[in-house]
Amino acid sequence: MKGNKEIVKMLQKKGEELPIPESLHPKKLYPILQEYSQKKRRQKRRFYAILSVAACFCLIMGLCLLLSPYTFFRSEDMQQKALAKRPDLEMPSKEPMELALLESNYEEIYARLSKSWKALSSKQEATSYREFSVAEDMAASASKLSNAEASFGKTNTQVQSIEEADQIKNDGRYLYQIATKQTKDENGTNVSKTGIQILDTLDGVKEIAFLSEFESLEEFHLWEDLLITIENKTYDTPYSSFEAKKESVQEDLTFCDVLYQEQAYHEISIYQITDRSQPKKLKTFTLNGSYETSRILDGYFYGISRFLAKPGEGAQDYSAYVPSVDGTLLEASRIYCPPEADGNNYLVLVSIELANPTSLMDSRAVLAGAGTYYISPQNIYIAWYLPVFQETQVKEGSIKDCTKLLRFFYQKGHFYAQAEGEIPGQINNCFSMDEYKGNLRIVSTIQTYNVKEVIDERTGESIGFDYREDVRSNALYILTPSLSIKGLIEGLAENESIHSARFLGDTGYFVTFRQTDPLFAADLSDPEHPKILGELKVSGFSEYLHFYGEDRLLGIGMEVDEATGIQKGIKLSMFDISDPASLQEVARLHLENYYYSEALWDHRAVLIDTEKNLFGFEAEGSIDDKRRKDYLLFSYQEEAFIQTHTVNTLPEEESYYCHVRGTFIEDTLYLLYGNGEVSSIEL
Amino acid sequence: MERFLSLYQNIYSDLYRLAYYYMGNAQDAEDSVQDAALSACQHFHKLKKEASFRSWMFSILINRCKKNLKKRGQRELTMEHPLTLCTAGSKELDSQTEILELLQTLTEEERLIVTLTVFGGYKSEEIAHMLHRNHNTIRSKYRRALQKLQQELTSEANHTSNSRKRQRKEKPI
């Protein structure tokens, strides 16, 4: 790239040296312009004269041809076109601006997809193709002691104003959870039923409804008097086609994954629960593809799902490669194909107006792999990772992996594809992205590779490329609304990876890790010149960061033996961020008996209310080789963690496993067990 | 017309540079700029915002250049020895010729993107709007074009008696 800059400089320099013809100087141009306008008038006169002499139509045509291309008759419409297409010359339109990248018909899309199907079948691509795990949703941003009336546990969301779906919900009186209950049928055999359990906490906890008409519930939303459930399903496939598919699937793709995706569909159902004990189904939307994530904002539901396109019987076999929503194929004009898109996945965006959930409001699809989704109050950011192996441009030398970005502006249930961009590296999860004052801030881990073409010594033929991992580093980027990089800090924490990040106003915090845990604080107040303010090295690393009160940052992660690199159990850290230039760890708690918690990868598993000064999660581990599973509740006082409650959640029957989520109403902690049991503890 | 000329005065050098490096020929560039100025002047009253003058003018120029390139193609004229009609010192001529030759290694579209960026001072988004292309495509094409130029330069530096260069010069005029 350095060379590129030099070329641009060189060209500019040459350009400056270029002699400009005298004839173009305004002074010289003036008489020409005058002459021309007179000439034009004369031409017009001549034109009318010929008409008046009753020249025939052919003659006029002939004259038009005779006129040189300089004539304005011809150039006029061309310039008007130029005028019309310059956006800055147009009247501001009421509709938000959109990228003009929508394909006009299914066949064009088919042609695009064919390329990736072909590429997939070639060995080199196939080995590089991996399903990248969908980075899980989000968690509460800067929850700076705002919820005045909040006296019950809410879903820990990334952005405070945006609802995220979860396994449990709490509205201050009723508790809701996805439960799988074991019951016996009349023959005495065990049957399990999955559904949504609704509990009333008014006079002791009692179940008032169990909506059990589901096969496999993913998660659900609670919005006023509505429950919105999302269920992933698959079509039944006869065994024969199962076998046939097995052969056509590349060995490197997980067979189950492909089959699952091909067969997958999901249902979004809306239930009226004005009477909590009598949920009433209003509508079910069926979409093909598998569910990824969803949000609710201002009464609109926004869902993202993934659809795998198949070659089918050819370009006419639309249903094989065009996603359908609620029974209708998505129009080609609603499918967005980024120019460098590859892979055979679509992401499908749908919206539902919850006040009137009779039909889908808007639906869009974009050709993009599964990604990480960050949803701000205005925008949906989709980020998907491109492994370097797909880069065909570079044959030799050093290359970096990269992440593609797409921004959809959304408003009142409508989506508008507005920008796409790219940053080097891979992002950790949705917390690695944050929108502030219109700019998107991202932290990424960049892996560079040394690429060498491998030549067969005997034949001299190229037999592929050898990718050798080189340096890994971390970077922070600030992107404009058009997703071009405005400011950056690169080359941070060599050979470490980003484990967690959180942004608060003009400051960004992120944790990188290899042997120790540097917590970085970056000043982002000047988006064009971000700079690192401070760096704090402590042992272990944080997987989840949460702003705690005025100027504290809570980190939940793992303790690590610095000498051996062995993980030594869960660790809580409290950082003092009052002066980002000198970060300090003011408290730490090493939970050496616990090795695993859902909280380490799903922020929604963390119950946290900084105003009430409590946070909790379920953790697993062992003491003296005896397995333990406890719900742990903490508070933070006088710069120290206090483990206020430890509730054993290990079921009596060893074989049966269920996860436990906690929530609270006023001063009662409720533990919701996945098998439908509930326990309450006074705080 | 006076208002037009005063706005034009600020940018005509940029216009000419773009046309020159894009078309690879001084005479064609001069003609195109003049044509563009003439038609722009005629339609100047239609321009709603003077702030947009620059981009409006460039749009007109590009259309004009494209048209003239087509016309030149129809007359089966390949790239001439450039600048033969220009009144500059021979040393200057040589170095400009080299640049023109260098730029001729790009495709027409690449050349347009590079010249619009370098001499027009446009961003990829704006070029994308102008050419009705996606801005990422423009960005990657721009990058690729610069890489091409870089390669060309290094290979030329490596072979001082560049055979490829000579070959191009031997093309019939």
User: In the prediction, which pLDDT does A148 show?
Assistant: 41
**Amino acid A228: pLDDT:** 95
Write out pLDDT tens, residues A96-131: 666 655 555 787 788 777 776 766 554 333 333 322
pTM, 2 dp:
0.64
| Residues of chain B with C-beta less than 8 angstroms from the C-beta of A339 | 134, 136-137, 140
Q: For the residues A239-265, what does the mean pLDDT come to? A: 51
Cβ of A44 under 8 Å from any chain B Cβ? no
Q: Which residue has the higher pLDDT, A526 or A144?
A: A526
pLDDT tens-digit series, residues A407-449: 999 989 999 888 888 899 999 889 999 999 989 999 999 988 8
SS3 A608: strand
Q: How confident is the model at residue B60 (pLDDT cuts 50, 70, 90)?
A: confident
* Under 8 Å between Cβ of A570 and A618: no
Name the minimum distance, in Å, from the CA of A405 to any CA of chain B. Answer: 11
Residue of A16, A29, A112 best to disrupt the B interface, most CBs of B under 10 A: A29
The Cα-based distances of A340 to A405, A409, B135 in angstroms read: 12, 21, 11
Q: How confident is the model at residue A546, as a pLDDT?
A: 94
Residue A42 has pLDDT above 90, yes or no: no
Mean confidence (pLDDT) of chain A? 78
Please answer yes or no on whether B35 and A79 come within 8 Å at the CB atom. Answer: no
Distance, in angstroms, between A114 CA and closest chain B CA? 20
pLDDT at position A154 over 70: yes
Q: pLDDT tens across A609-668, in order?
A: 998 999 999 998 888 778 888 999 999 998 999 999 999 888 776 555 678 999 999 889
Q: Is there a contact between B20 and A26 if contact means CB atoms under 8 Å apart?
A: no
Tens digits of residue pLDDT in A375-385: 999 999 999 88
Q: What angle do CA A571, A582, A557 make, to 5 degrees?
A: 15
Q: By percentage, how much of chain B surpasses pLDDT 70? A: 76
Q: What secondary structure does DSSP assign to A162-229, as a single string?
A: SEE-BSEEE-SSEEEEEEEEEEE-TTS-EEEEEEEEEEE-BTB-EEEEEEEEES-EEEEEEETTEEEE
pLDDT at residue A41, rounded to an integer: 58
Which residue in chain A is spatially nearest to B18 when comparing CA positions? A15
ipTM of the shown complex? 0.78
Query: Between chain A and chain B, how many beta carbons pairs sit less than 8 Å apart?
Result: 152
Q: How far is B38 from chain A (nearest CA, A)?
A: 6
Is B45 in the A-facing interface, judged by CB distances under 8 Å?
no
pLDDT category at B58 given cuts 50, 70, 90 is confident
Q: What pLDDT does residue A79 have?
A: 40
Angle of helix B53-74 relative to helix B124-131, nearest 10 degrees?
50
Distance from CA of A381 to the nearest CA of B (A): 17
The secondary structure of A234-275 as a DSSP string is E----HHHHHHHHHHS-TTS-HHHHHHHHHEEEEEEEEE-SS
The nearest CA of chain A is from the CA of B164 a distance in Å of: 20
Q: Which of residues 86-115 of A touch B (CB under 8 A)?
A: 86-89, 99-101
CB-based contact A364:A417 (threshold 8 Å): yes
Indicate yes or no: CB of A338 within 8 angstroms of CB of B134: yes
pLDDT at A50 over 60: no
User: pLDDT, tens digit, for every residue of A81-92?
Assistant: 333 333 333 333
Interacting residues of A345 by C-beta distance below 8 A, sequence separation 6+: A306, A307, A308, A309, A367, A368, A369, A370
pLDDT tens-digit map of A259-275: 444 567 899 999 999 99
What percent helix, strand, coil does chain B show, rounded to 5? 75, 0, 25
B30, B55, B147 ranked by CB distance to A86: nearest: B55
Comparing alpha-carbon positions, the chain A residue that sits nearest to B21 is: A15
Lowest pLDDT segment from A176-190, A258-272, A595-609: A258-272
**DSSP-derived 3-state class of residue A159:** coil
